[in-house]
Structure 1
Amino acid sequence: MPPSTDAPADTPCHDVLIVGGGLVGASLAIALDGLGVDVGLVEAAPPGSLPAVFDERNLSFAEATVNALTALGVMQKLHAPTGRIQRIHISRRGDLGRALLDATDHGREAFGQVVVARDFGDALEARLAELPGLLRYRPVRFVGLEAGDTAAWRAVRVADQGGERVLRARLLVAADGTRSQVREALGIGSDLHDYEQTLLVTRLRAERAPDGTAYERLGAHGPTALLPRGDRHFGLVHGVARDEAEAVAGLAEPALLERVQEAFGWRVGRFLSCGRPSQYPAIRLLAERTVAPRAVLVGNAAQSIHPIGAQGFNLGLRDALTLAELIGEARARDPAADCGEAGLLRSHVERRHVDREETVALSDGLAKLSANPAPLLRPLRSLGLFALERVPSVQAALVGGALGYRGHVPALCRAPA
Structure 2
Amino acid sequence: MTSEKQNYDVVIVGGGLVGASLAIALDGAGWSVAQVEAVSSKADHQPSYDERNLALARASVNALSALGVWSFIGTTATPIKRIHITRRGEFGAVRLNAAEHDVADFGAVIPARELGNALLARLQQCVTLERICPASVTAIETNAVRIELQIKTAEGTRQLATRLLVGADGSDSFVRKSLGIAVDHHDYAQTAFVSTLTPERAMDGCAYERFTDSGPVALLPLSERRAGLVMTVPSEEAGVIAELDDTHFLDLVQQRFGYRLGRLARIGKRVNYPLRRTQAQSVTASRTVLVGNAAQTVHPIGAQGFNLGLRDALTLAELLIAARRDDADPGAATLLAQYAARRESDRSGVIAFSDGLVRFFGNEFLPLRVLRSLGMLALDRIAPLKQILALRGMGFRGEVPLLSRGIDPRDHDQQASDVHGIAP
1:118 aligns to 2:116 (yes or no): no
1:246 aligned counterpart, secondary structure: helix
Counterpart in 2 of 1:58?
Answer: 53
Give the whole-Å Cα distance in 2 for the aligned partners of 1:153 and 1:377.
54
Aligned length: 406
Counterpart in 2 of 1:386?
Answer: 377
Give the whole-Å Cα distance in 2 for the aligned partners of 1:242 and 1:163.
42
Q: Do the aligned partners of 1:80 and 1:119 also contact (CA within 8 Å) in 2? A: no
Instruction: Indicate the larger mover: 346-355 or 21-30.
Output: 346-355
Counterpart in 2 of 1:93?
Answer: 88
Q: Do the aligned partners of 2:16 and 2:48 also contact (CA within 8 Å) in 1? A: yes
Give the whole-Å Cα distance in 1 for the aligned partners of 2:385 and 2:138.
46
Counterpart in 1 of 2:319?
Answer: 326
Give the deviation of 1:318 after TM superposition. Answer: 0.4
Q: Do the aligned partners of 1:114 and 1:230 also contact (CA within 8 Å) in 2? A: no
1:12 aligned counterpart, secondary structure: strand
With over 3 angstroms needed to count, the CA separation of the structure-2 counterparts of 1:253 and 1:9, relative to structure 1, is closer
1:46 aligns to 2:40 (yes or no): yes
Please list, as runs of the form range in 1=range in 2, the aligned pairs for 1:271-350 lying within 5 A after superposition.
Answer: 271-334=264-327, 337-350=328-341
Write the deviation string for residues 229-265 of structure 1: whole angstroms up to 9, x where unpaired. Answer: 1221000001111122122122111101110000001
Give the whole-Å Cα distance in 1 for the aligned partners of 2:180 and 2:243.
39
Please list, as runs of the form range in 1=range in 2, the aligned pairs for 1:124-135 lying within 5 A after superposition.
Answer: 124-135=119-130
Counterpart in 2 of 1:354?
Answer: 345
Give the deviation of 1:80 after TM superposition. Answer: 4.5
Give the whole-Å Cα distance in 2 for the aligned partners of 1:17 and 1:267.
49
Counterpart in 2 of 1:178?
Answer: 171
Give the whole-Å Cα distance in 1 for the aligned partners of 2:63 and 2:381.
31
Counterpart in 1 of 2:415?
Answer: none
Q: Give the TM-score normalised by structure 1.
A: 0.94
Give the whole-Å Cα distance in 2 for the aligned partners of 1:320 and 1:110.
23
Counterpart in 1 of 2:260?
Answer: 267
Instruction: Pick one of 373, 376, 383 that aligns with 2:367.
Output: 376
Q: Give the TM-score normalised by structure 2.
A: 0.93
Instruction: Indicate the larger mover: 215-224 or 404-413.
Output: 215-224
Q: Do the aligned partners of 1:207 and 1:268 also contact (CA within 8 Å) in 2? A: yes
1:226 aligned counterpart, secondary structure: strand
Write the deviation string for residues 194-233 of structure 1: whole angstroms up to 9, x where unpaired. Answer: 1111110011101112211100001233210000012210
Q: Which amino acid aligns with 1:40?
A: A
Instruction: Indicate the larger mover: 178-187 or 395-404.
Output: 395-404
User: Pairwise CA RMSD of aligned residues?
Assistant: 1.5
Give the whole-Å Cα distance in 2 for the aligned partners of 1:304 and 1:413.
21
Instruction: Pick one of 143, 151, 158 that aligns with 2:138.
Output: 143
Write the deviation string for residues 106-138 of structure 1: whole angstroms up to 9, x where unpaired. Answer: 111110000111111111110000113211111
Q: Do the aligned partners of 2:57 and 2:106 also contact (CA within 8 Å) in 1? A: yes
Q: Which amino acid aligns with 2:159?
A: V
Give the whole-Å Cα distance in 2 for the aligned partners of 1:392 and 1:361.
23
1:274 aligned counterpart, secondary structure: coil
